[in-house]
Amino acid sequence: MVQEVRRLIRERKTISIMIKSYCSSHHHTKEKLCDECQVLLDYAIIRIDSCPFSENKPTCEKCLIHCYKPEKREKIREVMRYAGPRMLLKHPILAIGHLIDSLKKPP
């Protein structure tokens, strides 16, 4: 149970930072997300919280069930392609945690 909580908290924090980084760079926002990115973040958090794998949640890339709507999935991929490489420099602990999670096989 504790591992589940830590895993999901880390996943929420990672996606939040990635979307904020993307929004700041692409939509020139400072402290607050633009409406489009806020909707995407809210959607991503809901998807993380409703993941059927719970404590065994794989990274979305390796998941066998794609619970994102196609247009949202493509937008998240765009965000991750931009923010992912920058995470190692700005948030190395979260990036390494995500990398470790990506090595786990989906259930």
| Interval 28-68: pLDDT, tens | 998 899 999 999 999 999 998 888 777 777 676 767 677 88
Q: What is the pLDDT, as a whole number, of residue 1? A: 46
Tokens 């409406």, residue located: 35
Q: In 3D, which of 59, 24, 19 has the Cα closest to residue 39?
A: 19
Which pTM was predicted? 0.86
